Amino acid sequence: MTRAFPEPGSRAEVEEGATFTPRFDANGLVSCIAVDAADGQVLMLAHMNAESLARTLETGEAWYWSRSRGELWHKGATSGQVQRVVEMRVDCDQDAVLIRVDVGGDGGCCHTGRRACFYRRVDHDPATGQATLRPADA
């Protein structure tokens, strides 16, 4: 059930036009950022192919392409953390999507059991050139 999206037109059509023409990369994917519709927290970054993007539009729930498993992934199908899409946006050149979602189940999104996948902060020490990780909420 792959939906054919229109081919991107001219730069002006892509950037200013009213036609949704997602620009998939060489692997047939667009990046998708999911944010909590209530508080704006960035929950996760995933990828969509044409089929998962079409299913997201048709069902109103987030579908992704799992690069590690090589298959469609209905977010929350097993965890109960279904992402109901409240709004979808596309960036200026239509190669990235942002979805505002209400999350079902326990409200989490990360496979580690956390609410969001972005739970660590990168600290860089200019003197040593080393980068280290620490909890984002610390």
Q: Kindly give, in sequence order, each residue whose CB lies less than 8 Å from that of residue 57, ignoring residues fewer than 6 positions away.
A: 3, 88
Q: Is 91 assigned to a binding site?
A: yes
Q: Is 109 assigned to a binding site?
A: no
Q: Is 32 assigned to a binding site?
A: no
Q: Is 102 assigned to a binding site?
A: no
- What does the angle CA 128 – CA 130 – CA 134 come to, to the nearest 5 degrees? 130
Q: Is 110 assigned to a binding site?
A: yes
Q: Is 25 assigned to a binding site?
A: no
Torsional sign, CA 50, 34, 80, 47: positive
Q: Which residues are annotated as a binding site for Mg(2+)?
A: 91, 93, 95
Q: Which residues are annotated as a binding site for Zn(2+)?
A: 92, 110, 117
Q: Which residues are annotated as a binding site?
A: 91-93, 95, 110, 117
